Amino acid sequence: MVARKIELTETQAERLDALARKLDMSSDTLAATAIEAMLDLGVWQAAEIEAGLKDADAGEFAEPAEIEAILKKYASHS
């Protein structure tokens, strides 16, 4: 393990402590878990962006019919 110093606002520290109590874990463990989750998300997101840019550079774009199907699938029916 490597120790790191992080600075939190008073509100962030209070929220961290309150959630840690609710989850019956230490604030340090919760903070480490949250950082790990954010790192996983960031790595995944960066890889997806890189893959999308590679496709775009290769001229691979969605066809109009594909876009229309996606829009119809998720369009609001109100």
pLDDT in tens, the chain (78 residues): 899 999 999 999 999 999 999 999 999 999 999 999 999 999 999 999 999 999 999 999 999 999 999 999 998 765
- Domain membership of residue 53 (yes or no) is yes
| CA-based nearest residue to 46, from 35, 57, 38, 34 | 38
- Domain membership of residue 4 (yes or no) is no
How high is the pLDDT of residue 76? 73
Helix (H) or strand (E) holding 66: helix 64-74
Question: Could you give the angle at the alpha carbon of 20 between the alpha carbons of 17 and 21, nearest 5°?
Answer: 85
- Domain membership of residue 16 (yes or no) is yes
- Domain membership of residue 38 (yes or no) is yes
Identify the residue whose tokens are 């490597």: 2
- Domain membership of residue 5 (yes or no) is no
- Domain membership of residue 1 (yes or no) is no
Q: How many domains does the chain have?
A: 1
- Domain membership of residue 18 (yes or no) is yes
- Domain membership of residue 2 (yes or no) is no
Q: Print the domain residue range for 44.
A: 10-74
